[in-house]
Amino acid sequence: MDIHIRRAYEPASDQDGSRFLVDRLWPRGVSHEKMAAHWLKEVAPSTELRQWFDHRAERWDEFRQRYWQELAAQPKLLAPLRDALERGPVTLVYGAHDSEHNQAVALREYLLAHARRPH
């Protein structure tokens, strides 16, 4: 699977493939046209989890675990991402400052660890 991660404030690339914003909130100051991404806010961590995590690196491992539980509880939400991955590269777009500890990183890891089974 070819899954890229890009910050919302970075320009799109020809190698991005299908782009999906995976934040619950739209990034400030970024127009929908500039973003050029489908918004999957339901795939983002719940408001409660996002606020608890607060982008604190020391909470990263537990955040990932809790977020993966949320994803596992609603597998149909991942269908657009899984469908796009069958067609080619996918880029998960996020707005956080921290490029190592954010939901796009955790979501990429989840998708790689829980690949769709061939029919």
Once rounded to an integer, what is the mean pLDDT over residues 43-60? 95
**Encoded tokens for 24:** 């619950």
Residue 117 above 70 pLDDT? no
**pLDDT value for 118:** 58
pLDDT at 72: 96
Residue owning tokens 């806010």: 41
Any residues with CB less than 8 A from the CB of 65 and at least 6 apart, and which?
none
- Model's pTM, two decimal places? 0.93
CA–CA–CA angle 68, 35, 60 (5° rounding): 25
- Cβ pair 114, 42 in contact under 8 A: no
